[in-house]
Structure 1
Amino acid sequence: MLVLGTGSCDGGYFFEGELVLVDLATGEHRYLFADDCRREVRSLEWTDAHTLWLLLAPPDDWQDRAARSEGHRVDLVRPDWRTVPARSVRHQDLAGPRVPAPLPEPTHPVAGPDPGGPRPGEIRSLTVLPGGDILLTADHALLERWSAEGDRRWSLPAGPDLGGGRTAAVLADGASAWVEALVPRRRGGGAFLRICLAGGTELARRTTPGAAALVTTSEGPLLVPMPGGTENGPGAGSGTAPHTPTGTPRARGHVHVRGVPVIPTALTVTGPGRLLPGTGDARVLRCRLAVGPERDGGA
Structure 2
Amino acid sequence: MAWQSQQALRVVVAPPDDSDSDEAHTHGFEVVIERSDWSNVAQGSVQQEELSGRWIEFEQLTKEEATRQGVESLAMLAGEPWWEPRRQVWDVHGLQDGRVLACLDGVLAEAWLPDGRLEWRAPDQEGGRQLVVRAGELDVWVNVERRRARWVGRERVAEPPLLARVSLADGKVLGSLPVGFSTALTTRDDGWLVLRSTGGDRRDSEPAALVSPTGETPEVRVPLGGFDLFNHSFPIRHSRQLLVLQGEKREPWRNKWVVAVDPAGPDAEPVVRRLFPLDWDTKHTRHLFGGPGIEVGTGETRDLVHAGSVHDGAGLLPGNAFVVRRSLGAGAARWVFTADFPATALDGDEDTIYVAFNSGELVALRTWDGTVLWRQRLEVGGQPVVPLSLTLICPGRLLIGTVDGRVLDCSVADSADR
Q: TM-score, normalised by structure 2?
A: 0.38
- Equivalence map 1:123-142=2 (5 Å): 123-142=89-108
Match of 1:177 among 110, 129, 140: 140
Between the aligned partners of 1:184 and 1:205, the Cα distance in structure 2 is 18
CA displacement, residues 207-256 of structure 1 (integer Å, 9 cap, x when unaligned)? 32333222332221513323612352344387554554166966611333
**Does residue 286 of structure 1 match 2:409?**
yes
Match of 2:394 among 247, 257, 271: 271
- Equivalence map 1:40-189=2 (5 Å): 116-159=82-125, 163-183=126-146
CA displacement, residues 93-125 of structure 1 (integer Å, 9 cap, x when unaligned)? xxxxxxxxxxxxxxxxxxxxx784222211000
Match of 1:253 among 344, 353, 359: 359
* Residues 1:245 and 1:140: Cα distance change in structure 2 (over 3 Å): same
Between the aligned partners of 2:104 and 2:401, the Cα distance in structure 1 is 9
Contact 1:123 1:137 in 2 (8 A): yes
Between the aligned partners of 1:241 and 1:230, the Cα distance in structure 2 is 6
Q: SS of the residue aligned with 1:140?
A: strand
- Equivalence map 1:19-58=2 (5 Å): none
Matched to 2:413, the amino acid is: A
* Residues 1:131 and 1:151: Cα distance change in structure 2 (over 3 Å): same
Q: SS of the residue aligned with 2:97?
A: coil
Between the aligned partners of 1:140 and 1:131, the Cα distance in structure 2 is 26
* Residues 1:147 and 1:241: Cα distance change in structure 2 (over 3 Å): farther
Q: 2:254 aligns to what?
A: none
Contact 2:207 2:224 in 1 (8 A): no
**Does residue 203 of structure 1 match 2:162?**
no
Contact 1:164 1:183 in 2 (8 A): no
Contact 1:169 1:215 in 2 (8 A): no
* Residues 1:256 and 1:225: Cα distance change in structure 2 (over 3 Å): closer
User: What is the count of residue pairs matched by the alignment?
Assistant: 179
> Mind listing any 5+ residue stretches in structure 1 that lack a counterpart?
1-113
Q: SS of the residue aligned with 1:158?
A: strand
Between the aligned partners of 2:206 and 2:234, the Cα distance in structure 1 is 14
Between the aligned partners of 1:239 and 1:171, the Cα distance in structure 2 is 22
Deviation, 1:269, is 1.4
Contact 1:178 1:221 in 2 (8 A): no
Determine which structure has more spread, i.e. the larger CA radius of gyration: 2
Between the aligned residues of both structures, percent identity stands at: 27
Contact 1:224 1:239 in 2 (8 A): no
Residues 116-125 or 254-263, more deviating: 254-263
Contact 1:192 1:205 in 2 (8 A): yes
* Residues 1:171 and 1:192: Cα distance change in structure 2 (over 3 Å): same
Contact 2:385 2:403 in 1 (8 A): yes
Deviation, 1:154, is 0.4
* Residues 1:239 and 1:128: Cα distance change in structure 2 (over 3 Å): farther
Between the aligned partners of 1:165 and 1:157, the Cα distance in structure 2 is 10
Q: SS of the residue aligned with 1:290?
A: coil
Q: 2:210 aligns to what?
A: 233
Between the aligned partners of 1:158 and 1:132, the Cα distance in structure 2 is 25
Q: TM-score, normalised by structure 1?
A: 0.52
Q: Which has the higher contact order (CA 8 A, sep 6+)?
A: 1
Between the aligned partners of 2:194 and 2:160, the Cα distance in structure 1 is 13
Between the aligned partners of 1:188 and 1:252, the Cα distance in structure 2 is 30
RMSD of Structure 2 on Structure 1 (CA): 3.1
